A and B are shown apart, each in its own frame.
Chain A
Amino acid sequence: MAELMSTERNILFGLYDDEEKLLDAVKAANADHLDIDDVYTPFPVHGLDPLLGLEESRLHIAGFIFGSIGCLFGFGFMTWVFTRDWPIIFGGKPYWSVPAFIPITFELTVLFAAVGMVLVFYIICGLGPGAEPRRLHDRITDDKFCIAFDATDLGSEAVEKLKGYFTKTGAESVHTKVVPV
């Protein structure tokens, strides 16, 4: 089936030994209009995101939404319990003792925001126990900085051009690997 064939990708990647070289190489790729598939690094390299054209993460919006839900849920639930479901007088205070609800409302806001945001993070990154995203080289989590190109549909001329680019920008080594999409 054509579907199955297209579940594999041929990745051409070069490894650099320093983040400065990586940044320069990404700049060179942009100048040459090379289409970088992804960049893999052992730690977050600052200044890389704008070069790759990555938009700012919108995780904080998820955090805000989940936090708001937690806040409303906490306060709403306590209000419902003490004014509708089972009103009890504690120490002569009003049923609806708003100041006393603040600590729990705050805690639930933080709890919902944190749990929700962390779950969203793992889901959108496709990470989780048993997840097997593309892993190109064992040293990427150690000390190598990787630029990867999708060479599946490229002709030999284009591949040679990319290899030339890697040599020119000081890549330490160049590899190819077939990976699932």
Chain B
Amino acid sequence: MSGHVAPVRKPLITGSKTYHQITEDICRPTETAPSLSWVITFIISVICLGMFAFGVAWTVWVGIGSWNLNRTINWGWDITNFVWWVGIGHAGTLISAILLLFRQKWRTGVNRAAEAMTIFAVMCAGQFPLIHMGRLWLAIFIFPYPNTRGPLWVNFNSPLLWDVFAISTYFTVSLLFWYAGLVPDLATVRDRAKGMRKKIYSIVSFGWNGSAKHWQRWESLSLILAGLATPLVLSVHTIVSFDFATSVIPGWHTTIFPPYFVAGAIFSGFAMVLTLMLIARKVLHLEDYITLEHVESMNKVILLTGSIVGVAYLTELFIAWYSGYIYEQFAFLNRVLGPYYWSYIGMMLCNVISPQIFWSKKIRRSLFWTFFMSIFINIGMWFERFVIIATTLARDYLPSSWSYYVPTWVEIIIFIGTIGLFFTLFLIFTRVAPVVAIAEVKSILKTSGDQYIGDKAHHHPHHAGAAEHVPAANDHAAGTSAHTKEDENEIH
């Protein structure tokens, strides 16, 4: 078997796991009582979620005037947070869909949690356009439903409406994709459970039994959904960027926005995946499944997308100067040196300069630096959205209406509240569903387990699981391999 895997490939599953051990390790968090650290984190998250509910209730009760938005700066923390959260969601789809199409096996260790993160992040993002309406109960107006007002339809030419369709489609498709992947693993949990838990998992696992035909269709479904989700995820942040790019505001009206937003989204999303996974692998004891190889691969993506974002920032400045258009030039001068210069510095420092430390392999494989950078990048990407939104609006065409904006406590607790919402959902998820895709990890065991490839492979064949599989490995060498085709894909 190991002969079919390129020698540069490093093991993605360590600890010489057998199939049964994989099941045990990954199902354990759903079967044991939560640890104290989980309980404490959960309580903090729920308190934050309570702050969210209070902030929203306050906004609805007092009115949108409880925020510090004004006629000049009419988008503030709300839309900044919206774009930030949507961007974070993108990494999940990138990992589960795009890396599936590219046959990247390290995807299997992190895709489940990353997709869950996508869904929760999009839920957080969706809150902001709704609350921002002020009259939450009129949110149905954004959908084109037959109504008694004519019927008067929505404006299909508006990028804001495109966003409604993009975000709701993205949420739906991500949810379906995630759940389809989850069904076989929930069946695994079901078959280990007893009593009430067995009943519940029987319902949610849809009666999955692992029949060959079902697996065939399941793989086909995953592949096509990945094929659909790939252009979808690129379209979503493109359309989010259209909210700005199709306007006639200098500083927003730029054609570079779609690719720059997509790269930024993947950048921030990977940072959030790393933040979550570094904690999860430690707390849930998943170090054998989310290895340094996974961390390093993600850091490479961060380095790439961070650099793309950096090039985009500089291109923006260059084009503003090169355009010879004074309003555009002023918008960017103002962005760098204007009243919000500090957020520009924060953005450049966190997003462009600091990720360059990942050129060093040592730092890419350092958990401390990775965690530190993941937080740093998330702050930086928040600044990016704030820079684009607030600094641009603060200095418009009419100097008499120039303004400065600081959020009120209501806006601040709503933002903190969505972080609470996100972590509450994520923490519940870690207790009720397998955080790592069990079936998918098993399917790469023979090509990526450390008893089959890597330095340990041949020197320590004494492990029971490994010893059992030795004859199988010989079969592979003889060319009767089930995995041969997949391995070839891996090599090319």
Contacts and interface: CB of A to CB of B under 8 A. Distances in A.
Interface of A: 17-21, 23-24, 38-49, 52, 54, 56-57, 59-60, 63, 67, 77-78, 81-82, 85-86, 88, 90, 93, 97, 100-101, 103-104, 106-108, 110-111, 113-115, 117-118, 121-122, 124-136, 138-143, 146
B200 to A, nearest CB: 11
15 contacts: A40-B211, A42-B439, A56-B220, A77-B144, A78-B156, A82-B153, A86-B152, A103-B235, A107-B165, A110-B228, A110-B232, A114-B172, A114-B173, A114-B176, A127-B206
A139 B156 contact: no
A128 B205 CA distance: 8
Contacts of B152: 86
Interface in B449-488: 468-469, 471-472, 475-476, 480-483, 485-486
Contacts of A44: 215-216, 218-219, 439, 443
Contacts of A56: 216, 220
B443 A143 contact: no
Contact of A90 (B157, B210, B225): B157
A81 B153 contact: yes
Given A45-B482, A86-B150, A142-B19, A134 B216 contact: no
Given A47-B482, A110-B232, A127-B214, A17 B443 contact: no
A141 B188 contact: yes
A20 B476 CA distance: 9
B20 interface: yes
A142 B156 contact: no
Contacts of B172: 111, 114-115
A141 B156 contact: no
A128 B206 contact: yes
Interface residues of B, number: 77
A131 B151 contact: no
Interface stretch (B179-187, B343-351, B381-389): B179-187
A86 B210 contact: no
B33 interface: no
Given A23-B482, A86-B153, A104-B161, A43 B220 contact: no
B432 interface: no
Interface string B194-238: 000000001110111111111111111100110011011001000
Interface in B379-431: none
B211 A39 contact: yes
A44 B151 CA distance: 50
A40 B166 contact: no
A129 B208 CA distance: 10
Interface of B: 18-20, 23, 144, 150-153, 155-159, 161-162, 165-166, 169, 172-173, 176-177, 180, 183-184, 187-188, 190-192, 202-204, 206-221, 224-225, 228-229, 231-232, 235, 239, 242, 438-440, 442-443, 446, 468-469, 471-472, 475-476, 480-483, 485-486
B208 A141 contact: yes
A141 B191 contact: yes
Contacts of B469: 18, 20
B180 A118 contact: yes
A74 to B, nearest CB: 8
B231 A110 contact: yes
Contact of B209 (A48, A100, A128, A133): A133
Contacts of A78: 156
Contacts of B224: 59-60, 63, 113, 117
B207 A128 contact: yes
A21 B482 CA distance: 11
Contacts of A133: 207, 209, 211
A54 B218 CA distance: 14
A75 to B, nearest CB: 10
A109 B383 CA distance: 34
A143 B231 CA distance: 36
Given A18-B469, A97-B157, A142-B191, A125 B217 contact: yes
Given A86-B151, A110-B169, A126 B162 contact: no
